[in-house]
Amino acid sequence: MPTTRTRATPTPTQKTRASALARTLDPVSGEEFLAEYWEQKPLAVPRGERGRFDDLLSVLDVERLLTSGGLRFPGFRLAKAGAKLDVADYTKDLSWRPQPFSGSADVQRVLAEFEDGATIVLQGLHLNWQPLAEFCRSLESELGHPAQANAYFTPRSAQGLPVHHDTHDVFSLQVAGEKRWLVYEPALELPLKNQRYKAETMGEPGDPVLDVTLQAGDTLYLPRGWLHEAKTSETDSLHLTVGVNVYTWMDAFRAALESCAGEAGFRRSPDGERPDDLLELLARELEPQRVERRQRRRLVRTRRPILGGQLSQVRALETLDLDTVVERRPTVLFDLVGATLTFEGKDLSFPDEAAEELAFAAQSDEPFTPGDLPGDLDDDGRLILVSRLVREGFLVISAAVPEIGADAEA
């Protein structure tokens, strides 16, 4: 029988897809960032490199999305510091059968609010904009935590949000124009999701500890909890906020307790004595290897599929043969245990006799052909295995992969 092992996903190695973390931080190395800044203090990386992030989302992309009339709440909203904007005032329902398109952008109204100082916020772009979906997936692979992306298009001499803190770590990528950031010491260190900033209970911010103006191509990293506000100057500004939802010790303890539910002692009423035996059981569940395994499992099982070009992939299967070049889809995060492949919320189980071929297909960092697969499967078995992995979105046929970022649509 094959040895049962859990195999972590290597970082994608396709030449055409650069590391998202390196692209965000360069010239600061990932090692320096994790050792000196991650969850500790802000980092500003000035470059003044116009166009550095345009392929992720450009001003032209934002204008095209807005003026098309296809934006719908909550995929977009308007924000304006010091003002409360009612969604109903800048959206409308478009008549259609059997259901109307509710919450659609009233383009003229949105443009008028923008001219009056409102920021256009595009939300959850990792869910529906291919370049940012791929960028966030690369970050997830490197950092081991879920990532998300919003865009903020702010008119000149305006401010979208008042002083606040985020409950996730933030990479701000300045795409176009410039934005001045005022950063203050945290009122609460590393807040949890439900610990939003409230000046009346946490206190007003003190003097800024960082006052920096980001130009196009610059990056600002803020650990969760650092208070901040951002303002434009005499130019419109477009920046991306890439949030990292960190798996914390609170998450680890909750998961460890859940894993103890099978122990009768945890289900008994407290008797007033110190539960040393239960603490020992909990401590065992909090061993680093078990914590890491649960964190990894949670990440892998909750990633949404990124299936750019999948229709072309399915059509290309019609000509699949032993010499067809295939490769792992670079956005896939997976675990492999024996002959069961887990990724994107599903478990694919294969016969034990296919375990060697499956491991090769999953672990190969380079393109290969069905004929390259090792093991005892015959040629038809190899083709069936590869065909299923392509249909499920795990492998792609290299010749059918479209140019990255081409004609991306939300």
pLDDT digits (tens, 9 = 90+) for 39-63: 999 999 999 899 999 999 999 999 9
Q: Range(s) for CATH 3.90.930.40 in the chain?
A: 305-400
Local confidence band at 291 (pLDDT 50, 70, 90 cut-offs): very high
- Tell me which of 2.60.120.650, 3.50.30.30, 2.60.40.420, 3.30.70.20 is the CATH number of domain 20-244: 2.60.120.650
Q: What is the DSSP string of 195-212?
A: ----HHHH----S-SEEE
Tokens 């492998």 found at? 395
Distances (CA, A) of 39 to 168, 228, 237: 10, 16, 27
Statement: the pTM of the whole predicted model exceeds 0.85: yes
pLDDT in tens, 221-252: 999 999 999 988 889 999 999 999 999 999 99
The pLDDT tens digits for 152-185 are 999 998 888 899 999 999 999 999 999 999 999 9
Identify the CA nearest to 125 among candidates 68, 177, 65. Answer: 65
Q: Is the pLDDT of residue 334 over 90?
A: yes
Cα-based distances in Å from 168 to 204, 247, 296, 299, 310: 21, 10, 18, 16, 32
Residues of the chain with CATH 2.60.120.650: 20-244
**84 pLDDT higher than 90:** no
Task: For domain 305-400, give its CATH number from 3.90.930.40, 3.90.1010.10, 2.40.50.140, 3.30.420.40.
Answer: 3.90.930.40
Least confident of 111-120, 252-261, 271-280, 370-379: 271-280
Q: Which of 36, 33, 38 is nearest to 23 (CA)?
A: 33
Q: State the Cα–Cα distance between residues 227 and 45, nearest whole angstrom.
A: 19
Give dist(CA 183, CA 251) in Å, integer.
28
Q: What is the pLDDT of residue 56?
A: 98
